[in-house]
Amino acid sequence: GQQLNQSPQSMFIQEGEDVSMNCTSSSIFNTWLWYKQDPGEGPVLLIALYKAGELTSNGRLTAQFGITRKDSFLNISASIPSDVGIYFCAGQNGNQFYFGTGTSLTVIP
């Protein structure tokens, strides 16, 4: 199946720093979503974006739906240790749903 390219692949940051990651696709998606996965668990939805150009926040998280509909960005401000995990983007068109390659985030206290 199709896979979206996510970067960076991994990040090691100091607690309190801001984080940015992005996701790109060769295809257009109508919906972009961002998930966080903790070890041994399923992904948990963080933010869903439904319109090109949309900017949506959830606490310290902010995500944007790219104008071209082929990309999306996630920012985490003032990182804390519990932000550690793997972040996945996902693009959706109806029942077609594809994950990004993931960004592993490590926060150093």
Partner 1 sequence: GAVVSQHPSWVICKSGTSVKIECRSLDFQATTMFWYRQFPKQSLMLMATSNEGSKATYEQGVEKDKFLINHASLTLSTLTVTSAHPEDSSFYICSAKGIYYGYTFGSGTRLTVV
Task: Using alpha carbons, select from 39, 50, 51, 32 the residue that is nearest to residue 99.
Answer: 32
Which listed residue (23, 74, 100, 107) binds partner 1 by CB under 8 A?
100
Tokens 């998930």, located at residue: 35
Shortest distance in whole angstroms from residue 7 CB to partner 1: 13
Q: Within 14-73, which residues bind partner 1 (CB under 8 A)?
A: 33, 35, 40-45, 48
User: What is the DSSP annotation of 32-50?
Assistant: EEEEEE-TTS--EEEEEE-
Stretch that binds partner 1, among 19-27, 54-62, 67-75, 96-104 (CB under 8 A): 96-104
Shortest distance in whole angstroms from residue 84 CB to partner 1: 15
Q: How do beta strands 61-65 and 55-58 pair?
A: antiparallel
> What is the distance between the alpha carbons of residues 14 and 25, in angstroms, rounded to a whole number?
29
Footprint of partner 1 (CB under 8 A): 1, 3, 33, 35, 40-45, 48, 88, 90, 92, 95, 97-102, 104
